[in-house]
């Protein structure tokens, strides 16, 4: 998915869910021609709220779609502002290997499970 454009990916998942452009457009509150132009790369990806509606309707991960649209989910901004160490940690993680990232992800999940 990394190299795929938002519109291409949207079309792929829409078709995989056997949903027409008209059906998706109607259920997320946009015109189907607008959706067609996005899928064909003639328009930029929609706003975050529309992407969330699309993800919800198709049962997809909204954060992944928002990031694929080259946008930062709005709630991420609040997390970044909440603690000055978070941006530092993110910069460091960017240099981690995939193995290190998996270890960190597993540790975070383990911590999260223990708090519940």
pLDDT in tens, 32-91: 999 999 999 999 999 999 999 999 999 999 999 999 999 999 998 889 889 999 999 999
Four-residue CA torsion sign, 48, 54, 56, 61: negative
* pTM > 0.85: yes or no: no
Rounded to whole angstroms, the Cα distance separating 62 from 74 reads: 12
Give the tens place of pLDDT for each residue, 67-84: 999 999 999 888 988 999
- Whole-angstrom Cα Rg for the chain: 17
* Residues 19/52, Cβ–Cβ less than 8 Å: no
DSSP 3-state of 115:
helix
């Amino acid at each position: 998915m990394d190299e795929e454009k938002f519109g291409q990916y949207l079309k792929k998942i829409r078709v995989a869910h056997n949903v027409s452009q008209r059906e998706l457009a109607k259920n997320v509150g946009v015109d189907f021609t607008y959706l067609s132009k996005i899928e064909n790369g003639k328009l930029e990806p929609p706003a975050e709220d529309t992407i969330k509606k699309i993800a919800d309707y198709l049962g997809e991960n909204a954060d992944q779609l928002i990031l694929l649209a080259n946008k930062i989910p709005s709630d991420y901004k609040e997390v970044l502002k909440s603690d000055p160490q978070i941006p530092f940690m993110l910069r460091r993680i960017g240099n981690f290997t995939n193995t290190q990232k998996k270890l960190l992800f597993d540790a975070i999940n383990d911590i999260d499970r223990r708090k519940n």
